[in-house]
Amino acid sequence: MEYFAIIVGSIFVSNIVLAQFLGICPFIGVSGKLSTSVGMGGAVLFVMTIATIVTWVAQYYILNPLGLGFMQTIVFILVIASLVQMVEIILKKISPSLFQALGVFLPLITTNCAVLGVAILAIQKDFNLLEGVVYAISNAIGFTLAIVLFAGIREHLDNMDVPKYMRGVPIALVVAGILALSFMGFTGLV
């Protein structure tokens, strides 16, 4: 039941993009086409899950025993940055086809605040390792859901007669607002 609450809570009720405002840059930046947004969602799922595992271990087995809790921000961002580099190199060797699909998105992910945000939130919420992993995966699914829905709407938006100064990002933000409004309907579900 607890895991169910984490899953539904992070995908729908407090969606990482539409309710918590994390990962807005890729949300606006790579949501022009449906196919690229699916690729970005896959890359985020991959990195977010691994990053949460590694930062969780770093927090509980290195920082806490040494009393270095205040170093959290520095350590986490370094871990994530080097992790992304490593994933890139390993993927290139092991699975060139997967690298082809996700490659262009990987460098963008270092500065994706959703990854660092979820890693910190998993610590703040006192999750154990398994809960943290479930939390990371469901947040990544929530991110993918939001960005894919948004990309689908934006593809149609291109054909619409939008007032001159609203074209591009302004109208996209208004659409995101309406999308966020509909996600508010899930409030109180868990």
Nearest to 113 by CA among 177, 168, 48: 48
Task: Decide if residue 72 touches another protein (CB under 8 A).
Answer: yes
* Comparison of 57 and 78: residue with beta carbon closer to another protein: 78
Helix, strand, coil in percent for the chain, rounding step 5:
80, 0, 20
121-140: contacts with another protein (CB under 8 A): 121, 124
Task: Decide if residue 19 touches another protein (CB under 8 A).
Answer: yes
Which position has the token pair 């995966």?
137
146-185: contacts with another protein (CB under 8 A): 163, 165-166, 169-174, 176-178, 180-181, 184
- Smallest separation, CB 96 to another protein (Å): 24
Structural contact between residues 83 and 50, judged by C-beta atoms closer than 8 angstroms: yes
Terminal-residue alpha carbon distance, the chain: 10
Distances 96 to 88, 102, 103, 117, 148 between C-alpha atoms, Å? 10, 10, 9, 29, 24
* Comparison of 29 and 96: residue with beta carbon closer to another protein: 29
Q: Where on the chain is the footprint of another protein (CB under 8 A)?
A: 18-25, 28, 70-74, 77-78, 81-82, 110-113, 116-117, 120-121, 124, 163, 165-166, 169-174, 176-178, 180-181, 184
